[in-house]
Amino acid sequence: MIKKTNQSIYAKSWAKLKKDKAAMLGLLVIVFAVFVAVLGGNIRPDSSPFANDGISSISKLSTNSTIQVLKVKRNKNIKQKSFFDKMFFGGQEPLYNTVPISSYLFLADKIIVEPYTSFNSAKVSEPEYEEFNLADVCFSIDKSADKQPLMVGDNVVFYNLEGEKEEKNIAALQYIVESNNITDKTYWLGTDVQGRDLMSRTMAGTLVSLSVGLIAVLISLIIGITLGALAGYYRGWIDDFIMWFINVVWSIPTLLLIIAVTLFLGKGFYTVFLAVGLTMWVELARVVRGQILSIREKEYVEAGRALGFSNYRIVVKHIFPNIIGSIIVICASNFAAAILIEAGLSFLGIGSQIPMVSWGTMIEQHRSFITHPDKAFLALVPGLSIIFLVFAFMLLGNGLRDSLDVHEE
């Protein structure tokens, strides 16, 4: 019996890649990052858009902090978003205002709470208390002057946002508040300087980094492959002109060129896409040109010309499949570089802008805490996220380089 061994080059490459533990670890980290980015507000502890639901009184909480909160229903009609609406850059506008509390007490139709604060040194001997109407805590109500909640016997009378009169028993409202509106909330990675959940902010920043990397690589692919293929296949004056243009762009410092493009087009998230993509195509174009120059003289390319195949068909169907390995490796490297560049631009204040969250912006906001052992995590968490994701792409790129170098046995 003859064993079939005529596997495709891609099947052989995948089989070889699976044996590379470092590359597979990198791939696992990337898949996890994509999973976090795509699901967005569906899996973040803070599901608000860009995880911006901050509470100033609990800023700079330590890791694994658990506090008691009172959830007060917001007095506006807020549409509950679906699973798909909360994906990517989506999110759910908070249905409740969150009030951190240290203790609470029911008093007729009111709940009296002692607000919690993370600034222990600021506490005074006589704590201040806040009171909320039970109906206001549980429901979205009309709070105009003539429609304030009113206690009538053992009941509370109020009007909903549609103007309809409702009446609820006080004991029932107390039970609803204690069961549904008073909960414990855990901040696994603490909170930032504005009291926002650091874990949610870090998860939201994943989408920004991956988006910039993906779009920038796609832009560089379109420009780099097109110019590289034209220069390598046609040669002559086309090659001379394209190589002159490549050398001009190559001579300009990458970061300086990106900053110039960003300042010219204006600050913003989408500008970063274009700025990074327009500066990453040069290396790809040079590699594609060199590969095509060596392949265009091969026998099967000459045979294609002799058979009357168009130049487009020869490049796309006969040359391109033989250089795709090198392109994939460069794209993995460019992806990592794009993440670093975006973080650097955001750190400098010319990348992603408020309210959008970026790991670079998070580091910039908390750089002063890096020397404080108990608060260093505020800058270390986004910094380590950048390191892990970039390192994962480098491991995968190295693995792809080795796995795509397969030979017939």
Return averaged pLDDT per consecutive 10 residues of the chain, 409 residues in all: 55 85 94 94 91 90 92 89 84 91 91 82 63 90 82 86 87 92 93 93 93 90 92 90 91 80 78 82 90 84 82 83 85 91 87 86 92 90 95 91 65
Cross-strand partners of 141: 160
Token pair for 49: 């858009």
Coil, strand, or helix at residue 110?
A: strand
Position 80 scores a pLDDT of 86
Token pair for 382: 């986004």
Burial class of residue 38 (count of CB atoms within 10 Å of its CB; 0-12, 13-18, 19+): middle
For 151, phi and psi rounded to 5 degrees? -85, 125
Position 125 scores a pLDDT of 54
Q: Angle at which helices 198-234 and 236-251 pack, to 10 degrees?
A: 150
List Cβ neighbours of 277 (8 Å cut-off, separation of 6 or more). Answer: 215, 216, 217, 218, 219, 220, 223
Q: Could you tell me the end-to-end alpha-carbon distance of the chain, in angstroms, rounded to an integer?
A: 19
Gap between the Cα atoms of 176 and 306, Å rounded: 83
Position 70 scores a pLDDT of 94
Domains of the chain: 9-35+199-403 (1.10.3720.10), 54-195 (no CATH)
Instruction: Rounding to the nearest 10 degrees, give the CA dihedral for residues 190, 195, 196, 202.
Output: -50
Position 127 scores a pLDDT of 67
Position 35 scores a pLDDT of 95
Token pair for 404: 């795509």
Count of C-beta atoms within a 10 Å radius of residue 269: 17
Token pair for 52: 């911006």
